[in-house]
Structure 1
Amino acid sequence: MLIRIVAILFPLFAIVAVGFVVGRRMRPDLAHANKLNMDVFVPALVFAALASKPFRPENDIPLLLATVVMVVASGLAAWALARATGIQPKTLVPPVMFNNCGNLGLPLAVLAFGEQALAPFVVMFMASNLLHFSFGAWLLDHKVRLMTIWKVPSVLATFAGLAVGMSGVVVWEPLLTSIRMLGEISIPLMLFALGVRLSDSRITSIGLGVFGAVARPLIGMAIAGILLMLVDFPPQQQALILIFGALPPAVLNYIFAERYHQEPEKVASMVLIGNMAAVVFLPVALVFVLP
């Protein structure tokens, strides 16, 4: 079991480590690469994953709703925790509420459960992203125009992929292969960019950073466990739900905190320490889900 867990996680952390070292030594500007990833490669990944399989409401909608429940419940738990500890809710709630389901979650799902896990986890990824770009942004700034979310390329790709899957239209295989190849660029680039981003982050609030880093997976796994006790999901979805709960805070939390001037140094500490702590929490989650 230990060898299997190491084999699953090693490629993820190896690529992140390469990005971290390159970030420290070369200070690359990945602004254009990240924009390409979010505007081209990730939408291609999303569309290919959703368009290449038939849409099954009996499977996809319960998983979508489960993701929404987990994100919202995590936010409510974090809000109660912030009020009890005196931490600014706008500082603690987003890192606990929104996890790193893109940079770490997508590649982890594929490495642990194979290509067949990509499409269902894309559903979870997009549900979380939709909430992050809408409610997450509004939480930090009530003046945010929520309708701008429909202009996000990955959101458009989600609806396009779902439309193809629901209609039963078969995309010409060479075209789908081309889109899939573009999408395959996104995962290693996300991992590499995560390492570069972490190399540029600074830990200024160690205590709060550790608190948020531990709270995120513990709350997420607890909610996932309760959800799995209440609802009978298929085995693969049970595993994906628990993995989703164990993921660390999303890097996007730091970007949003910086954009909306919400104690970005403290959020950066939670994100950095949280992603380092994933070395501990992800193996624990895998112990429960691997056969």
Structure 2
Amino acid sequence: MLELFLRILGIIFPVFAIAACGSVWGRRHRPDMSVVNRLNMEVFAPALVFWALSDKPFDFVLYRDLAVGGIAVVLGSGLLMLPLCRALGINLKTFLPPMMFNNSGNMGIPLALFAFGEQALQAAVVLFIIEMVLHFTVGLYMLDHRTRPLQLLRMPMIQATILGIACSASGIALPAPFANTIKLLGQVSIPLLLFALGVRLLDVNLRDWKLGVFGAIACPAAGVACVLLVRPWLSLDADQFAQLLIFGALPPAVLNVLLAEQYRQEPDRVASVVMLGNLGSLVAIPLTLWFALPR
């Protein structure tokens, strides 16, 4: 019991400590993180994705059911919350996206890395790509009822995914100097994602704290419920099931706030949901790890 507790502490402490460092530093300096975020989304994170997918053979069959489970968690969370939102009179465009699209990048990848090691990176990247693609297709359609499938192909993250899978499938191995360079660039993204998360949460207010508290409970509850509902129909090994369970328990992505601001969809209320959801993950993530990790 004590050994498992210490293991969970070792997993979550670096994740939340780096985000806390970002909050402390950000509160003192109030930096403009737009350039840093752009570098992360267009250089460092794509490098991580490419390296994770191309470094060793990518087994489509191995991750097929995990990918299906990821899709079920994202879309199923929205379906589970839909009748409840209608019954409570909550604006669907405001509340459903944060319940569906979680922090699979900022928090999901570091958690997988600390919990399961570098061998779990491909699975974490698969879930991250699924969440991101759905966010920029289904999520944007929910906000303005228009689709932009070709826009995905212009995203460095998608380009890196396609190139990484292509290299892996074709058996092309990059020369060691190039591979090591890409690996180093990718390793920048993980701490920077967490640090930027801490800085970004400083701008969030708690004006709608009641909705935020409700979201902090509902988001991981809906995600975990979806995992348990689809588990009997998926062929997942113990580590993949644990990763999917953690994916389901992740808090709302900060990107929900940026999109709410862009589409003028009650950004203050969305911000409260995201902020309290991420604070709530201090409880939800350790509890999920307690049940997900092998004894």
Give the TM bin, normalised by the shorter chain.
over 0.9
Work out whether 1:274 is the aligned partner of 2:272.
no
Out of 10, 14, 27, the residue aligned to residue 13 of structure 2 is 10
Work out whether 1:142 is the aligned partner of 2:145.
yes
Work out whether 1:23 is the aligned partner of 2:26.
yes
Structure 1 CA distance for aligned equivalents of residues 149 and 119 of structure 2: 33
- Percent identical residues: 48
Instruction: Indicate if the aligned counterparts of 1:78 and 1:92 stay in contact, CA closer than 8 A.
Output: no
Partner of 1:132: 135
Say how many residue pairs are matched.
291
Q: Which runs of 5+ in 1 are unaligned?
A: none
In the TM superposition, residue 200 of structure 1 has moved relative to its aligned partner by 1.4
Instruction: Indicate if the aligned counterparts of 1:239 and 1:289 stay in contact, CA closer than 8 A.
Output: yes
In the TM superposition, residue 232 of structure 1 has moved relative to its aligned partner by 2.9
Return 50-59 or 141-150, whichever deviates more.
141-150
Instruction: Indicate if the aligned counterparts of 1:213 and 1:270 stay in contact, CA closer than 8 A.
Output: yes
Supply the AA of the counterpart residue of 2:153: W
Partner of 1:81: 84
Instruction: Please give the root-mean-square deviation of Cα atoms over the aligned residues, in Å.
Output: 1.0
In the TM superposition, residue 149 of structure 1 has moved relative to its aligned partner by 1.5
1:189-268 mapped onto 2 (5 Å cutoff): 189-268=192-271
Partner of 1:32: 35
Supply the AA of the counterpart residue of 2:178: L
Supply the AA of the counterpart residue of 1:76: L
- In the TM superposition, what whole-angstrom CA distance separates every residue of 1:250-274 from its partner, at most 9, and x where no partner exists? 0001111111001111110010000
SS in structure 1 at match of 2:44: helix
Instruction: Indicate if the aligned counterparts of 1:79 and 1:92 stay in contact, CA closer than 8 A.
Output: no
> How does the TM-score come out when normalised to structure 1?
0.98
In the TM superposition, residue 2 of structure 1 has moved relative to its aligned partner by 1.3
Partner of 1:106: 109
1:172-191 mapped onto 2 (5 Å cutoff): 172-191=175-194
Structure 1 CA distance for aligned equivalents of residues 212 and 149 of structure 2: 29
- In the TM superposition, what whole-angstrom CA distance separates every residue of 1:178-204 from its partner, at most 9, and x where no partner exists? 101000000111100000011111111
In the TM superposition, residue 80 of structure 1 has moved relative to its aligned partner by 2.0
Structure 1 CA distance for aligned equivalents of residues 56 and 176 of structure 2: 13
Supply the AA of the counterpart residue of 1:281: A
Instruction: Indicate if the aligned counterparts of 2:140 and 2:146 stay in contact, CA closer than 8 A.
Output: no
Structure 2 CA distance for aligned equivalents of residues 161 and 16 of structure 1: 29
Partner of 2:53: 50
In the TM superposition, residue 150 of structure 1 has moved relative to its aligned partner by 1.2
